Structures are given as structure tokens and as C-alpha cells.
Amino acid sequence: MRVVDGTVVQFHYVLKNGQGDVLDESGAQVFSYLHGHGNIVAGLERAMEGRAAGDRFDVEVAPRDGYGELDQGLIQRVPRTAFGGNEVDIGMRFTAESDRGRRVVTVTAVDTDSVTVDGNHPLAGQTLHFAVEVANVREATGNELAHGHVHDGDDHHH
Ligand code: ZN
């Protein structure tokens, strides 16, 4: 069976950046998604179209088809006092309210008086290099199609 809209695809992958550093990988676990529902980055989903179990391929995904371009407007300096007496360290992530709604931000710098937070996805602005091996392709169940995502096992509740 080939990958078309409404199939569940299981695959292994290694994700590297342009410098060849491994950013993420499926490891021993196989990754599953429902094809055609935007559940994985657009550039990878497009490259999956028509593949079958056993296919191996490499795909390069530009930021606009990956996690987006880096948006300087999402990088903000806030007063240190906004954190009260709480400890703030680089790399801390939390949900913040902004004029563009709630989003997860990462602390990227801490000064005496100010803290810099970045609301971009950690992989925004990066060209993604995926090495993929398709493990299995099957038809999605009616429930999966109705929910727009994969159900693995039958103890799935919302
Ligand atoms: Zn569901």
C-alpha cells in the first residue's frame, strides 16, 4: 500500500540540521502519523506521498515548509521583576500570554535587569534534513479519520 491521504504511516527517521548535528530521531520507537492531516511538518508530509513500506529516502525541508521562519517579533526582553523572586535560567520554557495569544517561550538570556524570551519554535529558521525509512503503511480506521490522528492501541481516550 502506498502513502495517500487517509493512510497511517509508520516510519523511522533521523533529523539533522545543516551542520549535520542530530536534532531528533525516532530511535527504537517507530513514529506513526495520519497522512494528509498536517500532523507532521508540511515538507516531510509532501515527501511521504506515494511511498511504500521499505522505502528509504532523504529530504531537505526549508523553514517555510518546516517550523517556520524565525520571527524577530517573538523575541522579547522583559523586566527581571516580571518573574518576581523566582529563579530564571537559560533554557527554561513556560507558557506566556502575548498580544498573539498563549505561546510557549524559551528563556534565551538572563541579565541583571532583564530576561530575553523567545516565542519561536526551537527549530524555526532551520533547514531540516530528514533521513527516513518507511516501516508500514495501512488504511486509517474511521475513528482515526474522524479524530484526525492515529490511535495506537485501544485505550485511547480524549
Ligand atoms: Zn483520537
Residue pLDDT, tens place only, 121-149: 989 999 999 999 999 999 999 999 999 99
- Other CB atoms within a 10 A radius of the CB of residue 72 amount to 9
Whether the model clears a pTM of 0.75, i.e. scores above it, the answer is: yes
Tens digits of residue pLDDT in 45-63: 999 999 999 999 999 999 9
- What's the CA-to-centroid distance between 156 and ligand 1, angstroms? 7
Report H helices in the chain. Answer: 42-48, 142-147
Q: Are 30 and 24 in contact (CB under 8 A)?
A: no
- What's the CA-to-centroid distance between 145 and ligand 1, angstroms? 9
- What's the CA-to-centroid distance between 143 and ligand 1, angstroms? 7
